[in-house]
Structure 1
Amino acid sequence: MKLSATDLKHMQWSLALLVVLALVGGGMVFLAQNTIQQAQNKNRQAIADRNATQGKLSSARDEEREIRAKIDHYKELLDRGYIGPEQRLVWVEEIKRIKEARKLIDIQYEFLPQKPVDTLLIPEGAVGGGYEFLTSTMKLQIQLLHEDDLLGFLDDVKRNVQAYVLIRECHIERTPAGSPLQQRGPRPQLKADCTLEWITLRAKT
């Protein structure tokens, strides 16, 4: 089959049109792929930004809860009288009240001068945890009918006084027969020698 010059001319235009269409189609495919890739990148970035924002919000909420917990803890310590100057006169009155309420035979005690706590009481020492820890050591001698008297006295002290009371040591022994302490009133059966630490806190400045 022979093609005329006119046919060849038409074929050339058709081929040229096909080439142009192929190029345009290829360009559109590339543009579509590039658009999809950009959309995917933006979506990934949006997810990353959202996750980062959620992380910051979660961290902020955690910090807020921690601050609120510290404030509540501080208020609790303040309400219990743990923070601030020691209330030694109030302590003395409370000990007297407990003795009378429990009808204890005899209590003798002495408070030593206030001082910073040592590392045996608090591992971080006197400035642990954002506070200065101060203690007044109490030397206690108490005459008892039975051990429950001592336990009740110590429990009342720890629950009612405005200080954190730490029992450092207690030694209990039987009262010797014929002791002068037995000449009047109920006869004490036991004698306890205890060392207590009356701890108060002062916020560091």
Structure 2
Amino acid sequence: MMLNQQDWKRLQAPILWLGVALVVVGLLAFYAKNYHDEKRVALEQQRTQLNQARQKYLSSGQEREMIVQYLPLYQQLIATGFIGEERRIEWIEALRQIHLQHKLFSIDYNISQQATMHPSYLSNLGSFILHSSTMRLNFGLLHEGDLLTLLDNLRAQSTGFIVRECTVTKLSRAKINPTMLTDYLDASCDIDWITLRDPQLRTPL
């Protein structure tokens, strides 16, 4: 069937309205999809925020438990000088007290400059930095027990030191005289004093 000019004129209005309807339907579908996508994104964001809030709540509870559990130990380590600024004066005073209490022979000491440690077995210290200062001790001994007395008493008064090396040699200048107390041995020890410090915090001494 062939359409003449009059037929086309009669169909112009319906075709125009059909085109308008198709455009409107397309726009409605487009906005409906966008609305659905926005609601889906908003729902996912709300779920994410809810999960984050839940995790934060759980972690805060765990942090409180850890603080309650480890705070006494942390305070003890601060009190003993392991955490915070190094306490050279206290180290020297501890040596002096041990020397006087046990009537040891004279002790010479030298403390090196503090250095940063990076031990491979401590890879995760958080914000803390591990420091070490080496103390070289030279002193005379009546017998080997004096060395153990010094180290045991030093360990009882202080924490955070490692005995790196000790050597004991016999003095050849004198014969053993049972009636006179004198040093017959010479000892030399290297001790590493260890401190753990957070550069962002000022720990009271």
TM-score of the pair, normalised by structure 1: 0.59
Amino acid at match of 2:76: E
1:187 aligned partner: 182
Residue segments in structure 2 that go unaligned for 5+ positions in a row = 1-56, 201-205
1:10-25 alignment to 2 at 5 Å? none
Shift of 1:130: 4.6
Shift of 1:118: 4.0
The structure with the greater share of residues assigned to helix is 1
| Aligned alpha-carbon RMSD (Å) | 2.8
Shift of 1:123: 2.4
Are residues 128 and 103 of structure 1, via their aligned partners in 2, closer, same or farther at CA, if it must alter by over 3 Å? same
Amino acid at match of 1:106: S
1:169 aligned partner: 165
Amino acid at match of 2:139: I
Amino acid at match of 2:166: C
Shift of 1:202: 0.8
Distance 1:80 1:142 in 2: 25
Are residues 81 and 203 of structure 1, via their aligned partners in 2, closer, same or farther at CA, if it must alter by over 3 Å? same
Aligned structure 1 segments of 4 or more residues deviating by more than 6 angstroms: 57-61
Shift of 1:154: 0.9
Distance 2:163 2:127 in 1: 23
Distance 1:190 1:201 in 2: 35
1:98 aligned partner: 98
Amino acid at match of 1:132: I
SS in 1 for 2:92: helix
Amino acid at match of 1:168: R
Q: Which digits, 9 at most, give the CA deviation of each residue in 1:124-163, with x for residues without a partner?
A: 36x73552111110011121111111111111112213x5
Q: Report if aligned partners of 2:118, 2:130 keep a CA contact under 8 Å in 1.
A: no
Shift of 1:104: 0.7
SS in 1 for 2:173: coil
Q: Decide which of 188, 192, 195 is 1:197's aligned counterpart.
A: 192
Q: Report if aligned partners of 2:174, 2:184 keep a CA contact under 8 Å in 1.
A: no
Residue segments in structure 1 that go unaligned for 5+ positions in a row = 1-56
Aligned length: 142
- Identity percentage over the alignment? 30
1:67-82 alignment to 2 at 5 Å? 67-82=67-82
Q: Report if aligned partners of 1:166, 1:199 keep a CA contact under 8 Å in 2.
A: yes
Are residues 191 and 129 of structure 1, via their aligned partners in 2, closer, same or farther at CA, if it must alter by over 3 Å? farther
